[in-house]
Chain A
Amino acid sequence: MNPFAEFPPALILLLGALLVPFLKGNWKSVYVIALPALTLLYILQLDSSEGWKFNVFSFTDEAVDFLRVDKLSKAFGIIFSLNAVIAFVFAFYVKNSTQHVAALVYIGSAIGTVFAGDLVSVYVFWEGMAISSTFVILSRKTEKAKAAGFRYIMVHLLGGLFLLAGIVITVANQGGSIAFNGFDFATEQHAGTWLILIGILVNAGAPPLSAWLPDSYPEASVTGGLILSAYTTKTAVYTLLRGYPGWEPLIWIGCAMSVYGIIYALLENDMRRILAYSIINQVGFMVCAAGIGSPEAISGATAHAFCHIIYKSLLWMSAGAVLYRIGKSKCTDLGGLYKTMPLTLIFGTIGALAISAVPGTSGFTSKTIIIHAAEYSDQAGIFWAWLILEAASAGVFLHAGIKFPYFVFFNKDQGHRPKEAPGSMLIAMFILSFLCIFFGIYPQPLYDLLPYAVDYNAYTWSHIITQMQLLMLSALVFFLFLPMLKRTATISLDFDWFYRKALPPLGRGLDKTLNGTNAAVSRGFTSGVIAPIVNFFESGASRFVAWILTPFWMSLGYSAEKIDAKQQSLFKRAKRGAFPIGITAFFAVILLGLLSLIFLLEK
């Protein structure tokens, strides 16, 4: 029996974050570790759910549900909170309240999305995630972070609008129901579900909506980048697994992501940007699994997301430790660090081997489930998708497995002699390294968490041999082609070129044409034609009256000042339309008299 009253686990982080600014020093660091730890314990004991519902809409009796507990949401909830605990251990030295509060709200919103039971609650947390993650980026307080944070929120607001538009149309198509279960590919394709899908794919980092990720994460702080790397994309994976299993286009979108990530990671010079592109590559596998949509594929994607969060965090930590000690993150500035940061190297290499799915690591026991699911799918063209995934697996070893550690820790000694990473960072990296190997050797506890039971054993003799062939030959290619992979101090154009380079001139051009036209019209027509007409109707009548009355006043012997005052008073009254009633009546009588006269003369 559940000892707690059931409430959404996100509340622990969302409400707990409010107290962070009041704590000082190490108490603050301990507190931000304790919050996700408490969340983890709470999620672990959630079993069934009555839901946590509110009736907010008049158009439906359905309540908005903030707590849907099943194996899928629980698996993501567990890894989200577990990763947060260890990330905050790594961030023990950070005393920046802004970043901690933003990070806690961000992680809380991600957990909220995962446990959200319908389209409305998903949307609420989705936007919460977009806004809070922007503050995680901004909290580095550099000019670059501010600029990247601005571009980041613009893209995510756009993605959020797609999602919202899709939700509105979908709710209408579902007869007013806000339910969010799996959409059926055969019968539920309409503008609504496609718009929701686009909104989700923005967050998943699918090209061409992907450039926000490598643009912004590497501008966040050492620990900010680490925290960001886990949640936005994996929340998107969760919503795809929940809502879009078996949507075949996702197979090809996923394949495109996995190759795109590799190509750009190969071109990239900044180590954190390499890791950012590698997220897109990895999420590609999960998106592809959602497209396959079989129970094994869904479980495989969940397992892969789980392990990916662990080893990707580990990689961001080792890169973060190097950045922390040296203040540089470009491969052209790094090298030879194995001499003084051997532990960081070892932990980083374990993460690199795990992401490459080397036997004995968690990548081998999780990612390969997706490939296994592809082998047993009968969807059209699945062989080619399978081939791309296997080729991409080889490419992962190339760009993340070898390139990252090689250029950072080996390659040319640049004369840096930094100290080893601080204790809290080493502890965090040790825990994640342990998990990478633990789930690699003994994956059963992980398999037990998956939404569908998996009958899969990664360790067949045949599988080990083929995997080693794939990886060893990839390594051989890396070192054979090393001269071609030499780092250059360059950046690579990505889809953000369109809004960073092409749009501003377009904007300036539009500004010139439209605002220029506006100004010309204002000069020529508005002030040249309209203004005299307005002027005539505004003061023409009173001027005419003054023109008649002035000789009359002069004949009465008024002084020039008095006549002037009379004229001004006349103009003012005419403008306000406020003549004494007597005068109005007098003119009315005259007018009526004139009309009667005309009438009589006509006869």
Chain B
Amino acid sequence: MEPDKKEFDWFDHPESRKLLWRVLIGACIVSVLLEVSLFFDDGHGRHGHFGDHSVDGWFGFYAVLGFVACALMIYGAKFLGKFLKKDEDYYGDPEETTLPEDIDESIR
């Protein structure tokens, strides 16, 4: 990289990260608020697919599901990781000393 050429590093700046955070939180809020628009059709909003009052018809169900499911999976993975994570040489695999042929010649 020539020193005079300015590198594109927008994502490294703290203010960019702050902006992205705001966009993300905004998108979450908007996606939930937009569900209100579904009440304009018939005044009832969404219907569940599993009977008249099934839980998936509740307001904001998918937002809650997304949040809870992902949080649970992360906690679940973290917990299982305590037992399952091992050092990389656990199986005693042979370490390659040279890069194989499928890698770019210029860095081999």
Contacts and interface: CB of A to CB of B under 8 A. Distances in A.
Interface in A241-279: 259, 262-263, 266-267
B30 to A, nearest CB: 8
B38 A461 contact: yes
Contact of A492 (B11, B12, B61, B86): B86
Contacts of B46: 462, 466
B73 A262 contact: yes
A510 to B, nearest CB: 21
Contacts of B54: 383
Contacts of A342: 8
Interface residues of A, number: 72
A470 B104 contact: no
A472 interface: yes
A221 B100 contact: yes
Interface in B56-77: 56, 60-67, 69-71, 73-74, 76-77
B81 A491 contact: no
Contact of B93 (A144, A382, A413, A469): A144
A584 interface: no
A376 B85 CA distance: 40
Contacts of A238: none
Interface string B66-108: 1101110110111011011111101101101001111110011
B63 A470 contact: yes
Contact of B99 (A266, A327, A392): A327
A322 B11 CA distance: 19
A326 interface: yes
Would you call the interface of chain A mostly helix, strand, loop, or mixed?
helix
Interface residues of B, number: 59
B25 A476 contact: yes
A491 B85 CA distance: 6
A538 interface: no
B102 A94 contact: yes
A380 interface: no
A465 interface: yes
Contacts of A141: 100-101
Interface in B27-53: 27-28, 31-32, 34-35, 37-38, 46, 49-50
B12 A413 contact: yes
A465 B34 contact: yes
B1 interface: yes
Most A CB within 10 A of own CB, among B67, B77, B100: B77
A145 B46 CA distance: 52
Contact of B66 (A143, A262, A323, A473): A473
A266 to B, nearest CB: 4
B67 A500 contact: no
A245 to B, nearest CB: 21
Interface in A26-53: none
Interface string B15-35: 000000100110110011011
13 contacts: A262-B77, A340-B1, A383-B54, A386-B50, A468-B34, A469-B35, A472-B66, A473-B64, A473-B66, A475-B24, A475-B28, A478-B70, A492-B81
Q: What 6 A-B pairs have minimum CB-CB distances, sorted nearest first?
A: A391-B69, A473-B66, A221-B102, A477-B70, A375-B49, A143-B94
Interface of B: 1, 7-9, 11-12, 21, 24-25, 27-28, 31-32, 34-35, 37-38, 46, 49-50, 54, 56, 60-67, 69-71, 73-74, 76-78, 80-81, 83-88, 90-91, 93-94, 96, 99-104, 107-108
